[in-house]
Structures are given as C-alpha cells and as structure tokens.
Amino acid sequence: MKLCYLLGYPVEHSMSALMHNASFQSLNLPYRYELRSIPPADLVTFIEKELRLPEVKGANVTIPHKQEVIKTLDEIDETSSIIGAVNTIVNKGGNLTGYNTDITGAHQALQESFGRLNDIKVAILGAGGASKAVSYLFAKKASEVSIFNRTLKKAESLAVTLSRLPECKAEVQALPLKHEALKNAVKEADILVNTTSVGMFPKPNETLVSKKLLHSKLFVFDLVYNPPQTRLMREAAEMGARAIGGIPMLVYQGAKAFKLWTGRNPPEELMFRTLKENLGDGQ
Ligand code: ATR
C-alpha cells in the first residue's frame, strides 16, 4: 500500500481524505490518504522520519505548515519558490519536491465561473499561505490588486514581493482590514476573494465584509468550503452578486496533486460528488 498524507495542525475537519480515497478506489490504485495532525515543533522530524520512506508517495500541506515546510524539502518548483508557499510534496526515491497546486486550482475555479482575469480590479482578504497563491495569480493578470489583512505588515510584505516580480502586471497595494479602506476597494472591485478562515465551521456566522458593501457588479470567491455556502456568499447573493465557495478550488488543487502522486488522470466528477455528498452543495 502506498501512502499520501495531509500535514496540518489541526487536520480533523479536512475533506481531502474522503476525496482522495474515493478517487484511489475508483481507479483501483493501491493508495491510501491519511490525515496527520503535526504540531509545528514536530514538522521537521516527521518529514525526515516518515515522508522519505519508499511507501510514501507524498503529501498535501495545510495550515500552518505551507511556508515552514519549504526549508525541509530538497527542491521546490518555480512558483512555490516565488510565493514562498508549498501545498503539495512528491517523494521520489527519498527526494522531496514541493509544488503549489493552489495557484492552478484557484485559476481553474475562476476560469469556469468568472472567465478571463485580465485587467480587472480585485480585493483580497488575508495575506497567509492561501492568499499568496491567489494574490500571485491575480498579480500576473489583473490591473489592481488590494490585499487586506488584520496584520498589515504581512500584507505589505506580500505586496512588495509581488510588485517586484517581472511578471507582475497589476498595481498591488496593502491595506488594513478596516471598514473605510474596504468600502472604497469593494465598491470598485470586480472580484472579492476571502482567503481567511473567517466564516468557516464551527463559526459560520462570521464575515469580514458588511453586507451593505456588497453590490450586484461584484463576484465573490470565498475559499472556505465548510460550510459550502458561507455568510459572505449568502449576503453577496442577497445583494445581487454572484458568488462561489471553496469546493471547486479544493477539487482542482487536489486533482493536480493526485496526478503528481499517481501519474493518473484524476476523477474530478467523483471528487466533486464526494465533497457535495458530505458537505451539501450550498444551494
Ligand atoms: P492559509 O494557509 O489558509 O492562508 P494562514 O497562512 O494561517 O492560513 O493565514 C490565515 C489568514 O487569515 C491570515 O491572513 C490571517 O490574518 P493575520 O495575518 O492577521 O493572522 C487571517 N485571519 C485568520 N483569522 C482571522 C480573523 N479572525 N480576522 C481577520 N483575519 C483573520
């Protein structure tokens, strides 16, 4: 049996094991996906002792390890290196390579539901690992990217990193997560993205953006997938805005990881179905 792990802290509420194990079974692959809750202090030891074993094909990486894990890897691909966040690891003969499948996952989800991302204005909530992937994607395509974060310094440092990239097309700015600043950016924005955990189970009634700031020309992309319809999404719909949640991105980033571990094409429809059966579809 070959193993793939999810490394996070905590990981108990993750849906990734259900999605990947259903996919392995449907293709008769001798793989199992297991959740591993690893405190930050134990991350390096776990990677050295467990992840390089021959039966381990790789791992997904989630909160809070996406950035810290990089120093334990032998190689990382170019985009992970640019943004400083890895969400997928592949073990080949004891050699560990890091990838970021969040970027393509977010891109695919947005292409399907929104369309081209060129020359648009985007407001992004959060400046952590998930935000790095999403902000990088928009920095390459959009005209304006405003990154809002509770800890302003983190948003500032991300905005500087992105602005310096040769491929950066957008004007990228960092702003405090305050009503006035949000009000102006959201008014002008084509897309509002929530990359924070605000609104996630077990506190589904929280939101960072008051309903009255939302409007019918806005498209809301909430990376939260549990619940499948967050308060932000519901209030967006009530204000006439279109909104999607985190399920499509979860599927597409997982599908890319699946392909990296197994070399096989992932059963994306089954992945969607498995998540919807367990979470509902938010309708
Ligand atoms: P991920 O990998 O999912 O992005 P992360 O790197 O831990 O996770 O980042 C979490 C993001 O959510 C951060 O931007 C965090 O803000 P801080 O940098 O100020 O910590 C944001 N976040 C989490 N809880 C929040 C809350 N209650 N209010 C506002 N922002 C919050």
154 lines ligand 1 (CB under 6 A): yes
Question: Which pLDDT tens digit goes with each residue over 184-200?
Answer: 999 999 999 999 999 99
Amino acid at 110: L
- Separation of CA 197 and ligand 1 centre (Å): 6
pLDDT value at position 83? 94
- Separation of CA 126 and ligand 1 centre (Å): 6
Q: Rounded CA gap, 89 and 137, in Å?
A: 20
256 lines ligand 1 (CB under 6 A): no
pTM: 0.96
Question: Which pLDDT tens digit goes with each residue over 17-57?
Answer: 999 999 999 999 999 999 999 999 999 999 999 999 999 99
Residue that the structure tokens 């998540």 belong to: 275
Average pLDDT of the chain? 97
Residues of the chain with pLDDT below 70 are 281-283
- Separation of CA 52 and ligand 1 centre (Å): 30
- Which two three-digit tokens encode residue 231? 């308060």
Query: Ligand 1 test: best mutation among 62, 182, 197, most atoms within 8 Å of CB?
Result: 197
- Reported as half-sphere exposure (CB side, CA atoms, 13 A), residue 199 has a value of 26
**Closest CA to ligand 1's atom 31:** 196
- Which two three-digit tokens encode residue 263? 């070399």
pLDDT value at position 282? 61
pLDDT value at position 13? 87
pLDDT value at position 283? 52
- Reported as half-sphere exposure (CB side, CA atoms, 13 A), residue 253 has a value of 28
